[in-house]
């Protein structure tokens, strides 16, 4: 703004400032619309970053067209921007995420491949019969099919990932909700090499559970924007209360989290306490206890209720009374 004000040719300072503000606001408005609705939507985030860099370089040429140092620096900047944003083979790049499907080295598996979302492995799959998937998907399937004996049930999955939870699973009906409309086609074409089994709905997870009139036997929350990051509006008490609303009276909530293996960080403790404040005590399974970061599977039941708790002490120990109840 100070630079624009000094460059404006006007009789009064106020007039120059007003014109500078006008052009700055107009540029911000048109730039935000064109980048989000055109460049990001059709060419991807990397192209938007590169377009911004090119726009700044063009501005530098206009300000100092005869300065060889500026020209050399500008060309170097364009080269670096292109290298950083287009150096890797991207399967697809949408307005919501960058997707890469590529081979990985996993002992004992047949042609294993990974589905990467924003450079984080979201799903694993191979060509074995039956296919091998990630450990947490196997754990979720065990809970649904073996422990709970689900058959003919309605299962809602918030966060599609690689759509592997319903892969070759013919006993139940699955509904996937994801904010990116392109993820289904990308997963079918490049990762699953088959059609997704289940219904796919394009929507924000929180908006869907707040507006849907359907009730499900199970809700699986597996929503990440990167390897460890869950969108902040999907960790609050209000969100977990919404998932309870979407459950049938005897329904179950299954949550996949990425937390520290010892559950010692404030984030881990506060997130689990937030879930417990809505559902009461939930089961917590840490799948990789010896690692700094681990899949943590949380199981809650709609029939449970949050209640005040107490501590057993030697004086006036009421453990036997509680057990009798």
- Per residue in 99-154, pLDDT (tens digit) is 889 888 888 889 899 998 887 888 999 999 889 999 999 999 999 999 999 999 99
- What does the chain come to in residues? 325
Residue 38 DSSP code:
I
> Cβ atoms within 10 A of the Cβ of 189, count?
13
- Per residue in 5-27, pLDDT (tens digit) is 666 666 677 777 788 788 888 98
Largest CA distance in the chain: 89
Helix, coil or strand: residue 87: coil
- Is the pLDDT score of 227 beyond 70? no
- Per residue in 44-93, pLDDT (tens digit) is 777 788 888 888 888 777 777 667 777 788 788 888 877 776 655 667 87
Instruction: Give me the residue spans of the domains in the chain.
Output: 2-86, 133-301
CATH of 133-301, one of 3.30.450.40, 3.40.50.150, 3.40.50.2000, 3.40.50.300: 3.40.50.150
Q: What does the H/E/C string look like for 121-169?
A: EEEEECCCCCCCCCHHHHHHHHHHHHHCCCCCCEEEEECCCCCCCCCCC
pTM tops 0.85: no
- Is the pLDDT score of 187 beyond 90? yes
How does DSSP assign 233-292, residue by residue? GGSSHHHHHHHHHTEEEEEEEEEEEEEETT--SHHHHHHHHHHHHHHSS-EEEES-TTSS
- Find all residues with CB under 8 Å of 27, minimum gap 6, and list them: none
């Amino acid at each position: 703004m100070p630079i624009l004000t000094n460059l404006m040719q006007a009789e009064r300072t106020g007039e120059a400032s007003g014109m500078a503000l006008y052009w700055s606001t107009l540029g911000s408005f048109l730039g935000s619309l064109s980048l989000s609705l055109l460049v990001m939507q059709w060419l991807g985030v990397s192209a938007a970053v590169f377009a911004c860099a090119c726009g700044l370089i063009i501005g530098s040429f206009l300000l100092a067209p005869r300065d060889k140092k500026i020209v050399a620096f500008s060309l170097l900047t364009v080269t670096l921007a292109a290298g950083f944003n287009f150096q890797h083979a991207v399967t697809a790049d949408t307005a919501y995420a960058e997707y890469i499907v590529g081979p990985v080295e996993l002992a004992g598996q047949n042609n294993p491949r990974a589905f990467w979302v924003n450079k984080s492995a979201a799903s694993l799959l191979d060509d074995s019969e039956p296919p091998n998937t990630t450990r947490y998907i196997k754990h979720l399937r065990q809970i649904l099919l073996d422990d709970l004996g689900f058959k003919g049930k309605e299962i809602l999955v918030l966060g599609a990932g690689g759509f592997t939870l319903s892969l070759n699973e013919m006993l139940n009906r699955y509904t996937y909700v994801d904010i990116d409309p392109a993820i289904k086609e990308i997963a079918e074409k490049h990762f699953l090499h088959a059609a997704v089994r289940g219904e796919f709905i394009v929507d924000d997870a929180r908006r869907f559970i707040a507006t849907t009139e359907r009730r499900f036997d199970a809700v699986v929350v597996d929503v990440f924007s990167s390897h460890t990051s869950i969108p902040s509006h999907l960790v609050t008490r209000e969100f977990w209360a919404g998932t309870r609303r979407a459950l049938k009276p005897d329904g179950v909530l299954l949550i996949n989290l990425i937390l520290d293996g010892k559950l010692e960080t404030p984030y881990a403790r506060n997130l689990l306490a937030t879930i417990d404040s809505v559902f009461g005590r939930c089961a917590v399974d840490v799948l990789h206890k010896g690692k700094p970061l681990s899949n943590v599977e949380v199981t809650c039941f709609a029939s449970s209720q949050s209640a005040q708790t107490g501590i057993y002490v030697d004086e006036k120990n009421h453990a036997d009374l509680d057990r009798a109840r």
